[in-house]
Amino acid sequence: MEALPGYSTINLDGMKDVVSNTNTVNVTSTKGGLSKYLTTYMPGQRKEDAAFYAQCTKKALESDAPFVGEEPTVLEKNTFVRKTYAGICADNVVYMRNSQRLVLAAYGFLFAIGCITHILDLLCEDIAKVSEIGDLLANALKLIKFVRSHPRIRAQFDALRKQHGVSQNLRIVPATRFCYALLTILSVNVSKAVFTFMLMSDEYPAYTASIEAATTAAIRVVVTDANFWRQCSSFISLITPIVCALHFSEGDSMVCSWVYILYVAMLNDAKKWANDDIVFSADTREFVVNAVIGRWKGNPATGKVGICSEVHIFAYCTNPFLMPGDQPFDQHIMNELTPSMNNIFRKFTTAPARLAELHQAFTNYVTRLIQAIAEECSILWKENCF
């Protein structure tokens, strides 16, 4: 969340402990852009549902409270949490989102958002599973597994790789981290010459003599397919900006007010790729652009989660250093998304007249900010400052 002076954010992430092979809940706090590990909760025999994660969140929120003596009152808890925390962040699976609602029922003044990095990985998964791109990844994995599965071929491949100055090893996409599809395709693409020389080598027939003919034939089809290599290059140009955005979003420098700009940049890159690409079909290119849009808006009817949150929009609109006049500040933000600002204003007041006043003040502020920046840009342009 935005680095509010003196305020922290609680972050929850469920994962499997590799030693005990049990699920755990790791809790961290973020303050001023710096993260700190707080604790790990072990569910034991408890069911991992929304109630469990809500309980973990509440414990974390109240853990550093300077309470003395008996169980603190609700007022004491509220006072401490209000002074200490700005909000909570967690994965976007259903029970995590439901747990946030349970926490907000107790601490309604907190902001709650889903993990952007997680959603961007889901976007990579959406793209990776479209038919043409899925086939591309399957063929790339076919090459990698072929090399890795046969010791003599692997030794020959590594020798050729060093001979041709290729330092990158072949990489496989982890089952739950689709953003690494980029590394998989990159590792294959930079080794194009290595695969070609491997097939042309004098040793290759002997090394593959014991392998089924259908397997070696399938490998030769992929390596000699010019369209496969063109698709590799095109996929790299498509997915690289999204993966860069993903890794930037998980860093300590990321703040809420940059989320919308990050999305606009990704969407523009996806549209440019769709316009320039001549390798993939029109249906695939259209799907990719719609996938980026879909992971912004989300779809409650299908359970698809999106990045868009009134918190991100509010932070973007009220950060004058981001110069919204310099971005494609879509009118739909003012027409469709700003009414949801009341979700933010209700954290401070529930009086209808005051809500209307705050909403109007927000609209006026954003309108004046855009106009002022446009005027300043016009003046600077006339003075040849750009």
Please spell the DSSP secondary structure of 40-64, one letter per residue. EE--TTS--SHHHHHHHHHHHHHTT
Average pLDDT over residues 126-147: 94
Largest CA distance in the chain: 84
What is the bridge-based pairing of β-strands 8-17 and 22-31? antiparallel
Quick check: 326 pLDDT over 50? no
Q: Say what the pLDDT of residue 37 is.
A: 67
Q: Is residue 79 very low, low, confident or very high in pLDDT (cuts 50, 70, 90)?
A: confident
Quick check: 334 pLDDT over 60? no
Q: Say what the pLDDT of residue 358 is.
A: 84
Quick check: 371 pLDDT over 50? yes
Q: Say what the pLDDT of residue 231 is.
A: 97
Q: Say what the pLDDT of residue 335 is.
A: 58
Q: Is residue 328 very low, low, confident or very high in pLDDT (cuts 50, 70, 90)?
A: very low
Q: Is residue 270 very low, low, confident or very high in pLDDT (cuts 50, 70, 90)?
A: very high
Average pLDDT, the chain: 83
Which among 66-75, 153-162, 349-358 has the top mean pLDDT?
Answer: 153-162
**Higher local confidence (pLDDT), 348 or 333:** 348
Q: What residues pair up with 25 in beta bridges, in sequence order?
A: 14, 41
Instruction: Tell the residue number behind the tokens 């739909």, with chain if given.
Output: 332
Quick check: 271 pLDDT over 90? yes
In the chain, what percentage of residues exceed pLDDT 90?
Answer: 36
Question: In terms of Cα–Cα distance, which of 239, 246, 241 is closest to 265?
Answer: 241
Beta strands, E only, the chain: 8-17, 22-31, 34-41, 85-90, 111-114
In tens, the pLDDT along 16-31 reads 666 666 666 777 777 6
In tens, the pLDDT along 289-298 reads 999 999 988 8
Give the pair of three-digit tokens for residue 59: 């414990």
pTM for the whole structure: 0.82
Q: Say what the pLDDT of residue 386 is.
A: 43
In tens, the pLDDT along 99-113 reads 889 999 988 888 888
Quick check: 140 pLDDT over 90? yes
Average pLDDT over residues 250-260: 82
Helix axes 213-223, 131-149, angle to 10 degrees: 120
Quick check: 161 pLDDT over 90? yes
Q: Say what the pLDDT of residue 278 is.
A: 92
Quick check: 133 pLDDT over 70? yes
Q: Is residue 52 very low, low, confident or very high in pLDDT (cuts 50, 70, 90)?
A: confident
Q: Say what the pLDDT of residue 4 is.
A: 53
Quick check: 50 pLDDT over 90? no
Q: Say what the pLDDT of residue 273 is.
A: 96
**Higher local confidence (pLDDT), 185 or 40:** 185
**Higher local confidence (pLDDT), 302 or 223:** 223
Give the pair of three-digit tokens for residue 84: 């200490």
